[in-house]
Structure 1
Amino acid sequence: MVELSPDQAVLWRWEFVTINETILFTWLVIGIMVFMAWAATRDLSTTPPFSRRQVALETIISYMRNEIREIARRDSDPYLPFSGTLFLFLSLSSILGVVPGYRSPTSSLSTTAALAACVFFAVPIYGILQQGVSDYFRRYIQPTPLMLPFNVIGEISRTVALALRLFGNMMSQTLLVAVLISLAPLFLPVIMDLFGLLIGQVQAYIFAVLATVYIVSASSDEGAGEGEIEEEETEGEMKQEPEGGT
C-alpha cells in the first residue's frame, strides 16, 4: 500500500507527541537552508575576485528582487525576506525529491496549510506597517460597513484556496508517480522524477508570487508604487543625459 501523504508515516510517538515524515523532512529542509545560508555568506567580499558561493547567492537574490519588483512596482527589499524564504523552502523541498526515501513535506495538507497561514498573518502585518492600524482596517468597511463580513470571508477563503492549490498540485504529482511506478517500475520513475522537479519549481514560483501579490495589495496605497517607479525612471533618464545639456 502506497502512503500518499508523509503524515501517515509515523516515526516516533510518545503520548500526544508524534514525529512523522512531514515533520522530519520539514526540519531537514530548514536545516539545509540554514546551512546553505551560513556557508554562502561566509567571507563575503566587495571587490573581485568573488567566490562561487557569493556569485550564486547574489544571482539568486537579484533574481528574486527583480521578480518582486515587477509584481510590487516598488522597492522589493521589504518583501524579499518573506517571499524569498517561501520560494526557497518550496523549491528546495521539490529538488530534494531526487533523494531516495525523501518525500516532500509540501505533499502534506498540514504543511501547505501552515504556509498559507503564514501568508494570512503576513498580509495584515505588512499592511499595518505600511499604512497604520486605522488606515489598514478601514479597507474592510469600504465602500460600506455592510461589506465587513464579506471582506473577512474573502480573506479567509483566499488563504484556504492558497493552501488547497499547492496541496492539490503536489498530491496529484505524488499520486501520478505512484500509479506509473506500479505500471512500469523500470523506466518511468526517472522521467517522472524530472517531471516532478519541473512541477515543484513551477508551484514554488506560483505560491511565492501569489503570496507577494496578496501582501503588496494589502500594504500599498493607490498610486504609491507607480509614483516611486516614475520617480526612479525620471532620475535614470536625467543620469543618461549628456553633461552640459543640449
Structure 2
Amino acid sequence: MHLSPDDIIFWEYGFLKLNATIVSTWGLMFVLVIGSRAITRKLSIGLERARWQNLLEIVVIAIHNQIREIGLRQPRLYFAFLGTLFVFIATATLFTVIPGYDPPTGSLSTTTGLAICVFIAVPLYGIKEQGLGRYLRSYLEPTPIMLPFNVISEFSRTLALAVRLFGNIMSGTMILAILLTVTPFIFPIVMSALGLLTGMLQAYIFSILATVYIAAATSGNTKDIDQDHDLAEPDESEMEKPDAGQ
C-alpha cells in the first residue's frame, strides 16, 4: 500500500520521474479542458437548454454568489481563479470512483502547488485593489510590532492549506484501501461515498479559505464598485426620484 501517488513510478531516467501524480494531474486537466469546450460549444440563451448547460450554470451561479457573500463585491474579477481551484479539487475527488485512480490531491506536492498559487494570488489581488504602498502598510496594522507576526501568518496559513487538503485526501484513500483488504464488500462502498463527501467538503473549504484571504487583502479598497449589473440591486433613491419631465 502506498501513502501517496508520488510513490507509483511509471517511468524513470536519472532524476526524471513520471509518477502517478503527474499522470493523474495532466489527465484531469485534459478532461476539464475538453469537457469545458464540449459543454460551452453550443450554449443556448433560450428556454430549451441541454442538461450539461443547466448543470454548468448551477455551478457557476453558486460559486459567483458564494464569492459575493464572503465580501468580494466584484466576483467576476476573482471567479476564474477561485472557480478553477474548486472545480479542480472537486473533480479530482469525484474521479476516485474510477478503480485504480489516485487523486493528485493525495500528493503533498500537488496540494503545496495549489497553496502556493493562493499565496501568490493574495498579494497580487491586494496590490491591484489597494496599490503597493497601501497593501504593504497593512502588514503594520494595528501596530508596527505586528509586522513579523503578520509575515509569519502569510506563510503559516499557506502551509496549513497544503497540509489540510493533503491529510484529508490521503487519509481517506488509505482507510478505503484498508477496508477493501479486510472487508471487500458493502462497508467499503459506504466509506467510498463518505470519502466523496469529505473530498467535496475539502474542495469547498480550500476555495472558501482562498476567497477569505483575498477578501482580507482587498478589504481596504474604498472604490470597490459593483459592476455586475445583472445581479446588482437597483438604487432605491434612483427609483424614488421623480421624472424631470413631470
Q: TM-score, normalised by structure 2?
A: 0.89
Q: How far apart are the structure 1 equivalents of 2:174 and 2:160? A: 20
Aligned equivalent of 1:4: 3
Work out the percentage of aligned pairs sharing the same amino acid: 46
Match of 2:81 in 1: 82
DSSP-derived class of the 1:11 partner: strand
Secondary structure of 2:11's partner? strand
1:92 maps to which residue?
Answer: 91
2:116 paired with 1:117: yes
CA contact (8 A) 2:72 2:215 kept: no
Counting only pairs closer than 5 Å after superposition, residues 93-172 of structure 1 correspond to structure 2 as 93-172=92-171
For residues 145 and 33 of structure 2, the distance between their equivalents in structure 1, rounded to whole angstroms, comes to 46
Question: CA 1:32–1:109 in structure 2 vs 1: closer, same or farther (change >3 Å)?
Answer: same
Task: Report how far residue 190 of structure 1 moved.
Answer: 1.5
Instruction: State the partner residue of 1:235.
Output: 235
CA–CA distance in structure 1, aligned partners of residues 199 and 154 of structure 2: 26
Paired AA for residue 105 in structure 1 = P
Instruction: Report the CA distance shift for 1:23/1:130 in structure 2 as closer, same or farther (over 3 A).
Output: same
Query: Deviations along 1:150-192, whole A, 9 cap, x unmatched?
Result: 1111100010011111111112212221222222112222112
CA contact (8 A) 2:70 2:211 kept: yes
The structure-2 alpha-carbon separation of the partners of 1:192 and 1:237, relative to structure 1 and needing over 3 Å to count, comes to: farther
* 1:91-116, Cα deviation, whole Å (9 max, x unpaired): 00000000011011111111111110
Partner Cα distance (2:28, 2:42) in 1: 24
CA distance in 1, matches of 2:104, 2:223: 38
In the alignment, the residues of structure 1 paired with residue 170 and residue 52 of structure 2 have an alpha-carbon distance, to the nearest angstrom, of 34
- Which AA in structure 2 matches 1:65? H
1:27 matched residue in structure 2: 26
Structure 1 residue ranges without an equivalent (≥5) = none
In 2: Cα distance, 1:120 partner to 1:236 partner: 40
Displacement of 1:141: 2.1
1:237, 1:98 → 2: CA distance? Answer: 54
Amino acid at match of 1:200: G
Matches within 5 A, 1:213-224: 213-221=212-220
Tell me the distance in 1 between the aligned counterparts of 2:223 and 2:93: 36
Specify the SS of the correspondent of 1:101: coil
Question: Which runs of 5 or more structure 2 residues have no equivalent in the other structure?
Answer: none
Aligned partner of 2:14 in structure 1 is 15
Match of residue 202 from structure 1 = 201
TM-fit CA distance, 1:237: 8.3
CA distance in structure 2 between the partners assigned to 1:186 and 1:237 by the alignment:
64
Q: 3-state DSSP class of the match of 1:12?
A: strand
Contact 2:25–2:104 (CA under 8 A) maintained in structure 1? yes
